[in-house]
Amino acid sequence: MSFRGVVRQSKFRHVFGNNLKRDQCLENIKVSKATWDGEFCSVNPKFVALVVDAVGGGAFLVLPRSKATGRLDAKTPLVAGHKGPVLDVAWCPHNDNVIASGSEDTSVKIWQIPNDGLQETMTECIVSLDSHQRRVGDVQWHPTAQNILMSSSSDNTAIIWNVGTGQALNVITLNDNPMSSCWNWNGSEVLFSCKDKKLYRINPRDSNVLEEGASHEGSKPCKAIYLKNGDIFTTGFTKHSERQYSLRKAGSIGAPVEMKELDTSTGVMFPVYDPDTSIVYLCGKGDSVIRYFEITNEAPFVHYIDTYQGSGPQRGIGSMPKRGCNFMACEINRFYRINNVGFCQVIEFKVPRKSELFQEDLFPDTLSDIPAVTAEQWWDEKKNAEPILVPVEQLGGQASQESALVVNQKPTANILNSARPVGASAVPAGQASSLSDVEMKKLTASILEQCKKQTENMTKKYQRQVEDLTEEVRSLRASSSKQADRLFILETQGGDFGKKDGSDNEFAD
């Protein structure tokens, strides 16, 4: 009996994880000893950032990707400007040289990394944001608006910042300590999971609570993220400390449409979402495995794909943006996984394909590093915008040229206006316009998108014409064949008639 009809059809059913050889990974890392449940790692196409243990304050390591291999030297320069342990780091999605860090010293700092990496330990940040009263455990950049950052703290608040001016735009007061925070796809909403075992959807501009609902029953931290279609995916614990995940719909976040238990491990699970493939990776603190699931719009919604088995319990995890993946090798994601002994393992997740050509069906247009709106448009004009997408094949496996750090209509009031990478030459005012650069990139992306659509339309048009002509040729061939058969029959009948009448000579003449 064949079971082919009941097998779920998906391009990603056979995704597998493959770790690189040891000499292509990084070792001898002084892993952070902070008790905070964080990922402690952030990566982009240019750099790898790892939170490390430091004496007399907080620090994290930043290495160019090309140098993030082999055994780490004990004298490697660090980013060490915090007075307390660093709890979270996040690269800016619109500039691969800018990174934000949150610390136990209650501050959020913005750093600008030189293109060739650090030559000496960096202690001076370009912007320091100091309004929280307790430790800052989570920092999240806005997905579409440039220079907008959200930080959440154990003082039961989350602050929306304009890092370009150092201004706190809005302070969101929560009912309890936030365990995780997340922007939605276009940055019009934020989502919090709090210690009071509830989820909150909030308008980041006016702090209005759009919806709240129960999360998981367990007392251990719950992590929640937005999916591209507005659904919410969470991980947490039951009353009996069993780990579970759930999928919820906006409008009824307290009633999961799908909830399943996984195991009885004690480590907090971090969901990592890939919007291009709709795959969620579950990376548990202290686990040696990474489970991954595909999210669909039909029940049961969450489909288990496979489990990657690593070596040693993991301490931190970082996911590479699609701009930094090797798409010619069908690599759909890349993780940097830190274990407890200080080894950073690089794991490639690939879809097996025999062809060495670019697989267009696996790589839809992906997030670019171009901001869709400025900070002023998002805050003052209340403008929301979808992220700007670019075709993956145009990236060439590398990051595109990042947008200018500052996009502000009042550059004289912007703290970041004078900031530049170490070693970079100053550009006199009036000789450069960051706003025009961004507009040019937006225009280029728009033109490329229009060209792609026109090409697709013309291809479909010509394809229909070719199909019509092919059909006409087939019809003519069939008609010609019928006429030939008919002529053959008539000739045969005429020959027989001549023989019967004895008039073959007449026909011959």
Which amino acid belongs to residue 461?
Answer: K
Q: What is the CA radius of gyration of the chain?
A: 30
As a dihedral over the C-alpha atoms of residue 393, residue 188, residue 316, residue 322, rounded to 10 degrees, the angle is 0
Element counts in the chain: helices (H) and strands (E): 3, 32
pLDDT digits (tens, 9 = 90+) for 169-210: 999 999 999 999 999 999 999 999 999 999 999 999 999 999
CA dist., res. 126 & res. 100, Å (int): 10
Residues 126-149, mean pLDDT to the nearest whole number: 96
10-350 homologous superfamily:
YVTN repeat-like/Quinoprotein amine dehydrogenase (2.130.10.10)
Per-domain residue ranges of the chain: 10-350, 450-509
pLDDT digits (tens, 9 = 90+) for 298-308: 888 999 999 99
Beta carbons of 342 and 27 less than 8 angstroms apart: yes
CA dist., res. 128 & res. 147, Å (int): 13
Judged by phi (left if over 0) then psi (alpha if -120 to 50, else beta), residue 423 lies in left
Ordered strands of the 127-129 beta sheet: 86-91, 98-103, 108-112, 127-129
Instruction: Show Cβ contacts of residue 4 under 8 Å, excluding neighbours closer than 6 positions.
Output: none
Which candidate, 251, 226, 255, 222, places its Cα nearest to that of 237?
A: 222
pLDDT at 420: 39
Choice among 105-109, 116-120, 149-153, 445-449 with the minimum mean pLDDT? 445-449
Question: Confidence band (pLDDT; 50, 70, 90) for 276?
Answer: very high
